[in-house]
Chain A
Amino acid sequence: MKFIHLVWGNLKRRKLRTSLTLLSILVAFVLFGFLCAIKQALVGGVALAGADRLIVRHKVSIIQLLPETYQARMERIPGVAAVAHQTWFGGIYQDPKNFFMQCPVVPEQFMAIFPEFILPPDQMKAWLATRTGAIVGRKTAERFHWKVGDKVPILSPIWLRQTWEFDIVGIFDGAKKGTDTTSMFFRYDYFDEARKAQNWGTGQVGWYTIKVKDPAQAADVARRIDEEFANSPAETKTEPEGAFAQGFANQIGNIALIVAGILGAVFFTILLVTGSTMSQAVRERIGELGVLKAIGFTNGQVLGLVLTESCLLTMLGGGLGLGCAWVLTAQGDPTGGMLPMFFFPVRDLLLGLGLSLLLGIVTGILPAQQAMRLRVSDALRRM
């Protein structure tokens, strides 16, 4: 710490160059933060998926419906603890860009399987008592300024192609930071009865979520379910909830690889920029480094001073960039609903700090070694 004013003074020596280098590091780390948040939004569901939950969908495609009668047969399969179904509603509130998910569900079954949705007991009671009742996640409620007691019109382009009216009876929160609270759930009995009018889809549901008794037996249970419905008109494909979420994300591409590719290019550029800054900084003050050695600084101390300077530079830029990214991503999903789990995870923030330190070491090590190897008498001649 007692050398810090020397290190800090050297950083301030060329203010413009240091500022521009800091700015480029800052921008790189803001980008890092944003890409991490996007990756989290796209693949975060995989990590948050329950280890004890399976998703059962039509073997052909998720958009093919499954009979509601499958539920009773699934409940009889050994290893199945509970079953709940959901169906894609695809409704539009006021404007198509106001995207959020809505699904009809059977309230008690649904809430038993998804304990990460926290709904106050009185609101649960109200939901059970109100046929047109719907519960909505906190984010969406805040986004549209909805409150309990509001009537919400939602146009469904799939079901009846008309506007459905729902009574908001509850607002749920997430048990974890990444829990998606952008969705709306309403009662299946209201939905199924109403769609009889279109004479299509009645008694059919989108997919099932199964809770297994023992996560270690999940693969066996999945196999048994698919065997149960083999050779039927609606064969099933059962997979862990995490794999289901991963498959969804993979429709876009290998997110992790894309993010790693972009960040790799950015950090390589920053490596060159910062490395060049540090090399110039050392070349400019070879004489001064000679003076330090003359008055008793060891080679190791000189190496440490240069490395500290490069690490301070990258950690300052990195820290500021990560801070900016944290503040910007805290504003929430920039797409207006397409990325409900958009946030900058703490583990990625810590990874970013580690990366900034690593960047400092990598960019500083060669100039630091150059400074360390200087012969004092040669260096003093270049003062």
Chain B
Amino acid sequence: MSSSPSPGEPLVHVDNVDKVFHRGSEEIHILSNLNLRVPAGEFLALMGPSGSGKSTLLNLIGGLDRPTRGTVTVAGDRLDQLSDRQLAAWRARHIGFVFQLYNLMPVLTAEHNVELPLLLTPLTKAERRRHVATALAMVGLSHRATHYPRTLSGGEQQRVGIARGIVTDPTLLLCDEPTGDLDRKAGDEILNLLQALNREHGKTIVMVTHDPHASARAARTVHLDKGQLSNGEVH
């Protein structure tokens, strides 16, 4: 089944992918014959105007959606060959998501939000607690563990979102506009954190962003326009 590639080897293979949505009888081509490689340990920024297909590509890589044509292979697994149930288990094992609007459960404390992905693992309660404490410490929020999202600032909520994304030590961290709803200072803190996760912990990160300031923190930026990659750039 899956195998984690060594640093530098491609972790993500997107091959000849089309994605078509239907609105009534109209066909909307979001992605067209798209090819992309993301090496293990890379911090990649996906940029492009609204409607260019950035989030759709992120969803395909994260196994949230399926391509109309082509294949997506992540960590050695062909996602189109997995059933819905297998795909859910695969996401739990390999993918950490960070969303623009944090997407925390308002009824759970920060530590219970971070614990959510661990509930799908066979870890004991004590082990889960240890993992949650480590993740919150990594994002600098140990002191806010028992706080509810409504009592946290936007930056803090996003850090909780990142802790939730990394608590299972996923193979790949997918971030959809992680600084899109934050002011510059809070956004910088989040970007520092993502950079640290990539550089110090070797985490592979794919980040969708509009913001050139954010993309500048990535090791490589690719541009999407009208469903196709327009160029590649290495910083």
Which residues does A use to contact B, with CB under 8 Å?
A: 2-3, 5-6, 9-10, 12-13, 287-288, 291-301, 375-377, 380, 383
Q: Please report which residues of chain B, range 114-128, place their CB below 8 angstroms from some CB of chain A when the two chains form the complex.
A: 116-117, 119-120, 125
Smallest CB separation, B120 vs chain A (Å): 5
5 closest A-B pairs by CB: A296-B92, A9-B107, A298-B88, A376-B64, A291-B103
Interface centre among B88, B99, B106, B108, by most A CB within 10 Å? B88
User: What's the Cα separation between A59 and B92 when bound, in Å?
Assistant: 79
Give the residue of A2, A300, A383 whose beta carbon is less than 8 angstroms from that of B99: A383
Chain A residues with CB under 8 Å of B56's CB are: 377
Contacts A9-B105, A288-B103; A297 near B59 (Cβ below 8 A): no
The verdict on A299 contacting B88 (CB below 8 Å), with A294-B62, A294-B97, A383-B99 known, is yes
Could you say which residues of chain A place their CB within 8 Å of the CB of B101?
Answer: 383
* A6 near B103: Cβ-Cβ < 8 Å: no
B91 touches A5 (CB 8 A): no
Total interface residues in chain B, CB < 8 Å: 28
B107 touching A295, Cβ below 8 Å? no
Say what secondary structure dominates the interface of chain A.
Answer: helix
In whole angstroms, how far apart are the Cα atoms of A169 and B20 in the complex? 94
Q: Could you jot down 10 A-B contacts, CB within 8 Å?
A: A6-B112, A10-B107, A13-B106, A287-B103, A294-B62, A295-B91, A297-B88, A298-B84, A377-B56, A380-B103
Contact check, B117 vs A6: say whether CB atoms are below 8 A apart. no
| Most chain A CB atoms below 10 A, which of B84, B101, B103, B125 | B103
- Cβ of B194 to closest chain A Cβ, rounded Å: 18
How far apart are the CA atoms of A300 and B56 in the complex, in Å? 25
Q: Which residue of A lies closest to B116 (CB)?
A: A295
Q: Is the CB of A5 within 8 A of B106?
A: no
Per a CB cutoff under 8 Å, which of A288, A298, A375, A376 touches B89?
Answer: A298
Q: Which residues of A contact B13 (CB under 8 A)?
A: none
Interface SS, B side: helix
B103 touches A293 (CB 8 A): no
Query: Are B85 and A299 closer than 8 Å at their CB atoms?
Result: yes
| 0/1 interface trace, chain B 87-113, chain A, CB 8 Å (1 if under) | 011011101010101010111100010
Asked if B225 is an interface residue, CB under 8 A from chain A, the answer is: no
Q: Name B residues whose Cβ lies closer than 8 Å to a Cβ of A.
A: 56, 59, 62, 64-65, 84-85, 88-89, 91-93, 95, 97, 99, 101, 103, 105-108, 112, 116-117, 119-120, 125, 164
Measured between beta carbons, the chain A residues less than 8 angstroms from B92 are 295-297
Given the contacts A293-B88, A299-B85, A377 and B65 also touching, CB distance less than 8 Å:
yes
Q: In the complex the two chains form, is B84's CB within 8 Å of A299's CB?
A: yes
Please tell me if the beta carbons of B120 and A383 are within 8 angstroms of each other in the complex.
no
Other-chain contact of A298, B59, B85, B97, B125 (Cβ < 8 Å): B85
How far is B120's CA from A287's CA once the two chains are assembled, in angstroms? 19
A293 surroundings in chain B (CB, below 8 A): 64, 88
Q: Is A288's CB under 8 angstroms from B99's CB?
A: no
Task: Taking A9-B108, A296-B88, A297-B92 as given, write out 7 further A-B residue pairs in contact, using a Cβ cutoff of 8 Å, ordered by the A residue number.
Answer: A6-B105, A13-B107, A291-B103, A296-B95, A296-B117, A298-B84, A301-B120
Q: What's the minimum C-beta distance from B77 to chain A, rounded to whole angstroms?
A: 14
B55 shortest CB reach to chain A, Å: 8
Contact A6 B108 (CB under 8 A): yes
Query: Within the complex, which residue of B59, B112, B117, B125 is in contact with A295, where a contact is CB–CB below 8 Å?
Result: B117
Q: Are A296 and B120 in contact (CB under 8 A)?
A: yes
The answer for the CA separation of A80 and B220 in the assembled complex, in Å, is: 102
Shortest Cβ gap from A231 to chain B (Å): 81
Min distance, Cβ B53 to any Cβ of chain A, angstroms? 12
Instruction: Tell me the complex Cα distance, A43–B93, Å.
Output: 61
